Chain A
């Protein structure tokens, strides 16, 4: 009898013997990471200027761009709500902007089905800039237009951070599809 290729029992997600993908992991990891990123304001970082990038939003963008279809279209409602609870924005601003982002990304995907790293980054950058400007306008503080350069450092930081977030999401995506032991 010929020996089977030992690699045929494994793939990049682990051994195939008695192990399957877990639906909880496969669908739970994106939600969990976005929620955790939304908790960033609870980090021990007391900023006296808006500087910190909106991590929850960046993770949402990264997951949506890397794995379209994993987050349902209505995901903006619960995720935005959770983000609002901690971000300091008035309640509703996150729900509105997250939901609009889901729609816009779907439309962009219809228009440009072929994508690459630069296009993903470009789309994310445009979305982030729009998000930050709109969030500043919705913040409840009557900021005049002249004060808008205030959020420039934050915009630059958020755009530069997106590839890093996308890399983290790619790593988590492998964890998401890892095979776990089947019981029974």
Chain B
């Protein structure tokens, strides 16, 4: 079908001018876009306020949807449960046996831990969560991996705080609006978390690969000690994440480390917990200019 004839300006001066103006405005839009893009790539934090305001405005939609997501998932899981109930039951019983033994071991360990801590004079209280909320959306169409969380400044959330779920680490707060905040998920390419192997002290960095898996990069190169099925937990280095939160399980060995699967899949979480920054003093100290730099400025 040919387009409507209104598109043809012909010898009509006014129509010609209109078309020309259209091109001018469109090019102007593109130029503004390019300028804004350069600014936001150069200073990513420039438009955070604007975006969090927009997310705040759209939060009720996401909140309703998130409730629906959890509901529908449990509905389908309930149906699926009928199909393999028998074998599932046997498997669970076996797992239960193992878990009971492990629990006893854990109690012993805990006791020993407490005794050792008392010996050292360390006092460590329970971590009180800053806020809890639902993940109400994610940048599913973009190459970046952001999640939107239904808790913000009004609930005490601040930039940099770790976000966890009962299954493990989810990410950290990147920008906080008044009622929502943007979470940098672990799988984003800009996300780096210091981790260690749960069983010993093999330290590494877990970097996002934007495709749902993490790249575990060993700090000490040499013979690669990793094996499939190794669990990595946060090491607490850097002072942002508290140590001992589960991050990833190794699925594939590479030359300088491994590829790991995320343990706490954000899609399967209902509520997530925002925790306070582990060692705020350490972060402040890292951000402060060195003494020599201060002298140079004076």
Contacts and interface: CB of A to CB of B under 8 A. Distances in A.
Interface of A: 39-55, 68-69, 72-74, 76-77, 80, 85-100, 102-103, 106, 109, 113-116, 135-136, 138-143, 147, 150-151, 154
Contacts of A113: 2-3
Given A69-B7, A92-B39, A141-B190, A87 B139 contact: yes
A143 B28 CA distance: 29
Interface stretch (B75-83, B145-153, B229-237, B286-294): B145-153
Interface in B100-118: none
A69 B2 CA distance: 13
Nearest to B22: A73
A45 B138 contact: yes
A85 B54 contact: yes
B138 A47 contact: yes
Interface stretch (B59-67, B119-127, B198-206): B59-67
A48 B189 contact: no
Interface stretch (B30-38, B217-225, B240-248): B30-38
Contact of B189 (A46, A141, A151): A141
B52 to A, nearest CB: 10
Given A48-B211, A52-B140, A150-B143, 6 more contacts: A44-B69, A49-B210, A94-B33, A140-B44, A141-B189, A143-B143
B169 interface: no
A98 B69 CA distance: 31
Given A69-B7, A95-B32, A85 B50 contact: yes
Contact of B211 (A45, A49, A53): A49
Given A42-B137, A89-B144, A91-B40, A74 B7 contact: no
Contacts of A98: 29, 33
A163 to B, nearest CB: 16
B21 to A, nearest CB: 8
Contacts, number: 213
Contacts of B65: 42-44
A141 B188 contact: yes
A97 B3 CA distance: 24
B4 A50 contact: no
Contact of B58 (A86, A99, A109): A86
Contacts of B38: 92
B25 A74 contact: yes
Contacts of B35: 92
A57 B135 CA distance: 24
Given A40-B141, A41-B137, A69-B6, A86 B54 contact: yes
Nearest to B34: A96
A48 B29 contact: no
9 contacts: A41-B148, A48-B145, A52-B140, A72-B22, A89-B144, A90-B41, A92-B32, A102-B29, A141-B188
Interface string B166-191: 00000000000000000001011110
Contacts of A91: 36-37, 39-40, 46-47, 50-51
Contacts of A52: 140-141
Contacts of A55: 141
A149 B242 CA distance: 35
Contacts of B50: 85, 91
Nearest to A48: B212
Contact of A96 (B33, B135, B142): B33
B143 A46 contact: no
Contact of A77 (B33, B62, B211): B33
Interface stretch (B249-257, B260-268, B277-285): B260-268
Contacts of A106: 22-23, 26
B24 to A, nearest CB: 9
A48 B33 contact: no
A76 B30 contact: yes
Given A86-B55, A103-B30, A113-B2, A41 B211 contact: no
